[in-house]
Amino acid sequence: MGKITYVSAEGLKKLKADLDHMVNVERPAISKNIGEAIEKGDISENAEYDAAKDAQGMLEAKIALLQNQLASARIIDQSKVETDVVQIMNKITIRNVKNNSTMAYTIVSEHEADLKQGKISVNTPIAQGLLGKRIGDVVDIKVPSGVIPFEIINIELGM
């Protein structure tokens, strides 16, 4: 079994919906495309057939990945999420010590990450640098432009 994936109940529902769509909508559509390409005759030089087979291979790989993630998914019990140290499902307010700007992120599983909503993956450098730290700690986070010191201003329950 691969590594365990921690998700919220909402995240698990989304994973299941994505898998359902791939299996029941996308897979039949690709099979239909392959069938139509075969009906057109010689498949040895048929670009449509090749494209459909490539799409089928990529879809099957995505389906297998999602099935593995679902098999290893564990719902996080939000009643047990602490706020004394940074952990997944926390909303963290941090201050960039260099320019004094503040930002808030909720640390979520990889599948629930959505930067527009302020949800960052637990696997990002920022989240990795913050995990286990406390309010008042200053953490040096390596970002593409260098290293930025962030002070943890607040930790609260996210979601």
Write out pLDDT tens, residues 41-71: 777 778 888 888 999 999 999 999 888 888 8
**DSSP-assigned letter for residue 82:** -
All structural domains of the chain, each given as residue ranges with its CATH number in brackets, are 5-75 (1.10.287.180), 78-157 (3.10.50.30)
Q: CB of 46 within 8 A of CB of 144?
A: no
DSSP state of 146: E
pTM: 0.62
* pLDDT > 90? residue 11: no
24-37 per-position pLDDT tens digit: 999 999 999 888 88
Output the CA torsion 13→17→23→27 (10° steps): -150
Please give the average per-residue pLDDT across 143-156, as a whole number: 90
